[in-house]
């Protein structure tokens, strides 16, 4: 479903929401430290791939399975996708650090795009198996060429189908990262189904909770769910955790840049 553009928050609104989040949030406490040299190594392995994609003006036919974006067109250069849909470097670092706090062995990513966040997650020392799902065949084809790590399974299908297959197979994940179809109702539905796939100490990371009013509303509803030990708002991500990852309240706002 393509959402009407006016329902998305514009840059000014997102900046104001960020300022408000910053003022009411606190600095990080208690999350596992990541060795800075290790992070530099990961950045220097993944970022050259991003740079190549940013210079790739090959036109591909893009099919939108999600909530849509103000920048989406049907025929799109790879470079435009790398600029608009792929998480920037600072966000990938924040994601990596949040994920590292639970040392996940089995990871499910909904929304590979060109595979940049996938590659960051695959560098987690604990990662044994990473399944990443992308609905767009042309984008999937590019992403799956990036890396031949046997722990990564690049799947081209809708989130719906990916979750159904995992349910049928009785799959269990320690980390589920949802980054696509940014629609409040769809997100609530994916999370309801994904929580049945989550291990007893697992974590769900939801991207772009400040993307639109209904995404924020969905996050606010999720953060009241007492079946999670911690519900943490990192502005760029909402995190639902079944285990304790830091000292503090069950519901908290953390300044995201304290993670990089
Ligand atoms: C924001 S991008 C993912 C970015 C990537 N995780 C990163 O950080 O670099 C979202 C991707 O999800 C895909 N997508 C959205 N809704 C989907 C759905 N319902 N099923 C399958 N893929 C979907 C889109 O095609 C898009 O490539």
Question: Which string of b and e fits 233-248 if b means at least 16 CB within 10 Å?
Answer: bbbbbbbbbbeebeee
Per-residue pLDDT tens over the stretch 175-217: 999 999 999 999 999 999 999 999 999 999 999 999 899 999 9
The share of the chain scoring above pLDDT 70, in percent, equals 88
Q: How confident is the model at residue 128 (pLDDT cuts 50, 70, 90)?
A: very high
- 171 phi-psi bin (left φ>0, alpha ψ -120 to 50, beta other): beta
Q: Tell me the pTM.
A: 0.91
**Residue of higher predicted confidence among 253 and 26:** 253
- Per-residue pLDDT band for 28 (boundaries 50, 70, 90) equals low
Q: Tell me the pLDDT tens digit for each residue of 42-58.
A: 999 999 999 999 999 99
Mean pLDDT score across all residues of the chain: 88
> Residue 7: pLDDT above 80?
no
Judge whether 215 and 222 are in contact, CB under 8 Å.
Answer: no
pLDDT attached to residue 5: 45
113 CB less than 6 Å from ligand 1?
Answer: yes
- Parallel, antiparallel or unpaired: strands 237-241 and 173-178: unpaired
Asked whether residue 27 carries a pLDDT value surpassing 90, the answer given is no
pLDDT recorded at residue 1: 42
**Distance between CA atoms of 257 and 237, rounded to whole angstroms?**
12
The pLDDT of 161-185, averaged and rounded, is 96
Contact 191, 204 (CB under 8 A): yes
CATH number of 5-259: 3.40.50.150
Return the pLDDT at 54: 98
Neighbours of 148 (CB within 10 A): 7
Per-residue tokens: 216:
């924020």
Output the CA 217–ligand 1 centroid distance in Å.
21
Ligand 1 lined by 156 (C-beta under 6 Å): no
Instruction: Give the Å distance between the CA of 163 and the centre of ligand 1.
Output: 14
Task: Tell me how far apart the alpha carbons of residues 227 and 195 are, in angstroms, rounded to a whole number.
Answer: 10
Span 83-110, mean pLDDT? 95
Question: How many angstroms does the Cα of residue 137 sit away from the middle of ligand 1?
Answer: 11
User: What average pLDDT does range 120-139 have in this prediction?
Assistant: 96
Tell the residue nearest (CA) to atom 9 of ligand 1.
86
**112 CA distance to ligand 1 middle (Å):** 6
Task: State whether residue 139 is helix, strand or coil.
Answer: helix
Q: Is the CB of 180 under 6 A from ligand 1?
A: yes
Half-sphere exposure of 233 (CA within 13 A, CB side): 24
Mean pLDDT value across residues 99-126: 96
């Amino acid at each position: 479903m393509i959402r009407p553009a006016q329902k998305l928050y514009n840059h000014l609104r997102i900046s104001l929401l960020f300022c408000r989040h910053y003022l009411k949030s606190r600095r990080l406490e208690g999350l596992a430290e990541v060795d800075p040299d290790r992070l530099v190594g990961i950045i220097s392995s993944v970022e050259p791939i991003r740079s190549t994609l940013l210079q790739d003006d090959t036109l591909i036919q893009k099919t939108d399975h999600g909530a849509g974006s103000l920048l989406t067109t049907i025929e799109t250069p790879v470079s435009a996708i790398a600029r608009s849909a792929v998480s920037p470097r600072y966000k990938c670092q924040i994601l990596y650090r949040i994920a590292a706090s639970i040392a996940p062995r089995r990871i499910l990513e909904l929304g590979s795009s060109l595979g940049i966040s996938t590659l960051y997650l695959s560098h987690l020392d604990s990662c044994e198996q990473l399944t990443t799902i992308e609905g767009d065949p042309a984008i999937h084809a590019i992403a799956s060429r990036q890396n031949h790590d046997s722990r990564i399974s690049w799947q081209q299908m809708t989130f719906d189908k990916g979750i159904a297959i995992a349910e049928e197979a009785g799959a269990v994940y320690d980390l589920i990262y949802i980054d696509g179809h940014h629609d409040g109702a769809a997100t609530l539905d994916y999370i309801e189904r994904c929580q049945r796939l989550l291990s007893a100490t697992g974590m769900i990371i939801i991207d772009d909770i400040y993307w639109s009013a209904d995404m924020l509303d969905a996050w606010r509803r999720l953060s009241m769910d007492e079946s999670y030990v911690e519900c943490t708002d990192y502005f760029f991500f909402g995190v639902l955790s079944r285990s304790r990852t830091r000292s503090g309240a069950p519901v908290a706002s953390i300044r995201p840049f304290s993670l990089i």
